[in-house]
Amino acid sequence: LETAVPVDQRPATQLKELREAQLYSWAVLETQAYLNRLGVLFLGSFALLGGPIAYQTFDPLKQTAEFFLSGAVGAGFVVSLAVLRIYLGWSYVGDRLLSAAVAYEETGWYDGQTFVKPPEVLTRDRLLGTYEVKPALSRLKTTLLGTGGVLLLSGSLLFGLIASSADTDGVYGRGAARTPRIVSNEGIIYSKNVKSLQDLRGDDTAAAEEAEAQGG
């Protein structure tokens, strides 16, 4: 019934390829397996991308919340992109399954044709589209809404922390100005463990602490 359409361009074949593809098959995994894949992708993205980028701005020991929120935003964005890609693939095949006619190319040389499905093929394809593709798309939509909400919340919290703790120039994180602890005629002291500039002259430990407090 579909002999006019090349095998690899038939909607039912394309659906089979989605089920077997390493990434696109996530849409039809069992719920726990699906969540596990998303979790592994999130953690991997945090470790390899979000975390290292966040580290350039935030000190994990001193700005722990900001560091993790920033890294989580980056990792969550990667997860969202992956889910969006899966969604677009399933949506494309779903549209072809539910449609009464599908476009195809006979030889690949831009000789586009349209195949009108016979009733038997249309019934089969619409059953596949309704009972297999639509549930997968519903799951992916829910995931996109969830990741979008988490990104929005994390971004808002991060923005609030940055806005409330930025220096007078609006800079925050590793590049922000240090706040002096003591300002006197002798000079400025930043370290909490140094009481006067006299302490720095004969105490290498105090000098090192002061240098660290100044960001040196």
Beta strands 188-189 and 112-116, pairing class: unpaired
Q: What is the pLDDT of residue 57?
A: 84
The encoded tokens of residue 120 equal 């038997």
Say if residue 144's pLDDT is above 80.
yes
Q: Is the pLDDT of residue 171 over 70?
A: no
| Over residues 126-138, mean pLDDT | 96
Rounded CA-CA distance 103/124 in Å is 18
User: Does pLDDT of 33 surpass 70?
Assistant: yes
- CB of 63 closer than 8 Å to CB of 55: no
